[in-house]
């Protein structure tokens, strides 16, 4: 499957990742501006960076873009699951909503769906071994 | 800018979303009617951007002004960006992208409403 990463359904993915990159960057910037000492705010920044990397890699495409996108989306999946579970266990630490807390509840649970959609798309567009 | 502007834009988003879902079920690319609806939505969010900034300048209340304006700007950009993305993909993917854009506008309107209301009411 040598489809372009950013065409077809990939374009829809780029759109959503782009929106989340902007949303997460904005939120973490505001929150860190208020109080840079809170871990959840830094996790929001991590989410923002991963969304930015994923968006860029999908747009750039190619073998490297695909590989880096898979790493970013994999970390994103682990992140949203870990932070989502953690935020239920330690409600004091996650007093303020962040992108990944409660599995992205504040964002219609899209942060939870997005890495699965991303990995499915990357699997679908996997570069052939001989190219 | 009072609460009604959010209601109006939410209503427009709802109508456009229904149109989009109908054609998505029919497996059709984005239609002219969708873009007209999106145009109406764009006029609405632009008016809200201007009105929101004026209201923010006039109000005496404590608000997160920067956050409020950044949401207003994002919401004003979404229909245009969504339209460009969907025009590049003349299939149900394009229709889906418009639906995602409209849903995002609706979600941000709810947030704007919260921010304008403030935590103290």
Render pLDDT for A56-114 as a digit per residue (tens, 0 to 9).
999 999 999 999 999 999 999 999 999 999 999 988 888 777 889 999 988 889 999 99
pLDDT confidence of residue A1: 41
- pTM for the complete prediction? 0.92
**Nearest CA among A24, A102, A88 for reference residue B70:** A24
Confidence of residue B3 (pLDDT cuts 50, 70, 90): confident
> Residue B63: how many CB atoms within 10 A of its CB?
17
CB contact under 8 A, A7 and B89: yes
Measured in whole angstroms, the distance separating CA A92 from the mean position of its chain's CA atoms is: 24
The CA distance from A62 to A87, in Å, is: 36
Q: Is B110 on the interface with A (CB under 8 A)?
A: no
Residues 6+ apart with CB under 8 A from B69: B52, B53, B56
For the cut 90, the answer to whether the pLDDT of residue A18 exceeds it is yes
The CA distance from A71 to A53, in Å, is: 10
Residue of A nearest to B77 (CA): A19
Query: What's the mean per-residue pLDDT of chain B?
Result: 91
Contacts of A108 in chain B (CB under 8 A): 107
pLDDT tens readout for residues A83-93: 999 999 988 88
Q: Where are the alpha helices (DSSP H) in chain A?
A: 9-34, 39-60, 62-89, 110-124
Report B:55-74 residues touching A (Cβ under 8 A).
Answer: 64, 66-67, 70, 74
Closest approach of chain A CAs to the CA of B89, in angstroms?
A: 7
Closest approach of chain B CAs to the CA of A55, in angstroms?
A: 14
ipTM of the complex: 0.91
The CA distance from B81 to A19, in Å, is: 10
Confidence of residue B83 (pLDDT cuts 50, 70, 90): very high
């Amino acid at each position: 499957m040598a489809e372009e990463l950013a065409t077809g359904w990939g374009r829809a993915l780029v759109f959503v990742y782009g929106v989340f990159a902007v949303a997460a960057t904005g939120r973490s910037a505001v929150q860190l501006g208020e109080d840079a000492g809170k871990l959840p705010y830094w996790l929001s920044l991590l989410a923002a960076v991963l969304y930015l990397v994923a968006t860029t890699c999908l747009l750039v495409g190619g073998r490297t873009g695909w590989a880096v996108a898979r790493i970013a989306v994999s970390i994103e999946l682990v992140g949203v699951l870990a932070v989502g579970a953690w935020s239920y266990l330690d409600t004091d630490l996650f007093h303020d909503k962040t992108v990944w807390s409660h599995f992205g509840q504040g964002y219609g649970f899209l942060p939870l769906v997005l890495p699965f959609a991303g990995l499915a798309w990357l699997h679908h567009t996997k570069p052939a071994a001989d190219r | 800018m009072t609460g009604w502007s959010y209601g109006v834009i939410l209503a427009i988003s709802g109508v456009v979303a229904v149109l989009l879902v109908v054609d998505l079920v029919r497996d059709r690319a984005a239609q002219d009617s969708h873009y007209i609806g999106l145009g109406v939505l764009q006029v609405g969010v632009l008016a809200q951007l201007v009105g929101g900034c004026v209201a923010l300048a006039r109000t005496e209340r404590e608000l997160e002004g920067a956050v409020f304006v950044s949401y207003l700007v994002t919401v004003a950009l979404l229909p245009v960006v969504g339209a460009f993305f969907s025009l590049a993909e003349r299939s149900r993917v394009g229709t889906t992208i418009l639906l995602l854009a409209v849903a995002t506008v609706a979600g941000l309107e709810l947030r704007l409403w919260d921010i304008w209301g403030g935590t103290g009411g």
